[in-house]
Structure 1
Amino acid sequence: MSDVEPRTEAGDVLTEVIMRTFRLYGGFLEAAEVMTKPVGLTAAWWQVLGAVLRQPLPVSGIAREMSLTRQSVQRIADLLVEKGLAEYLPNPAHKRAKLLRPTAAGYEAVSRLAKAQHAFTNRISAQVDLDDLRTTLKVMERLVEALDADEWPG
């Protein structure tokens, strides 16, 4: 008897979704690097700042939200603080895990991205039906929930 899981059509389709997601991520990352450069950010800095625009979070919370390692977020957070784009605040829930939040300069840098970001997203979204985009978002949210609920056997 084989230990290999049987292939299913749904599994094959999800594999193609994963492969296209890798391609999309690469394209979006490239676009983000182009957009962030003129305002003195990188795509990674923007990603971490974006996670704390609404509320301060500990590095571990940012890492969980973004599916990044805590160590990589910590390096970026420290750089953002060093550059004056973010600051650490005391965390009433945990003495050692400080909260990260943007400074006025961090909010300003992200705000300066808005024009380029909107131009890019408007250009790309104009080529896809709005209902399809909404459906894509719903499916992506369901896939994230499924991933979060999955108990990886390894």
Structure 2
Amino acid sequence: MTSQQRQQELLSAAALTTFKLNGQFLELAEHLARPAGLTATYWQVLGAVIGEPLTVSAIAREMGITRQAVQRTADLLAERGLVNYQDNPAHRRAKLVAITPEGRAANQSIGPHHAHHAKELSDVAGADQLADAVAALRKLSEALDALDLSDR
């Protein structure tokens, strides 16, 4: 096997494994969010603004999803009273999405179930191995961010 073939094989294996992991994490997120009356997508957007209000674009960049998908989700969360829109001093037209006390309560209600599954995963995978996997995934994400995806 040539070096180029090995590189291509590794890229494919990384992508396929990541796709499978994405599906598994989405299934787990739905499982965790459902008792709180949320979906995985709702929980994802709430989690993005738990620390500070962000614009829809900033949430989309952080989560790796489209601005339009975040806007639809934020609008639905606002209808349910879980977030609200605030004026943005840095940009007149781009409102900030802020979590409400109801949204914070819904997010916090996931905590005990989340802790249970976090312990299970750590017990099965090993805490040090899980930390190493997270570090490797972050490094892989940074490397993908650095790729030149322009049409050549």
So what's the TM-score if we normalise by structure 1? 0.91
1: CA distance, partners of 2:36 / 2:69: 22
Instruction: Map 1:32-111; keep pairs closer than 5 Å.
Output: 32-111=29-108
1:115 equivalent in alignment to 2:106: no
Structure 1 residue 114: Cα displacement: 0.4
Which residue is 1:138 aligned to?
Answer: 135
1: CA distance, partners of 2:77 / 2:118: 25
Which residue is 1:3 aligned to?
Answer: none
1: CA distance, partners of 2:4 / 2:136: 21
SS across alignment from 1:126? helix
So what's the TM-score if we normalise by structure 2? 0.92
Question: Which residue identity is paired with 2:111?
Answer: A
SS across alignment from 2:52? coil
Any stretches of 5+ residues in structure 1 without a counterpart?
A: 1-5
Structure 1 residue 125: Cα displacement: 1.9
Any stretches of 5+ residues in structure 2 without a counterpart?
A: none
Aligned residues: 149
The percent of aligned pairs where both chains have the same amino acid is 44
CA offsets per residue over residues 67-121 of structure 1, 9 Å max, x none? 1010000000000011000011111111010011110000000000001111112
Question: Which residue identity is paired with 1:127?
Answer: V
Q: CA RMSD, aligned part only?
A: 1.4
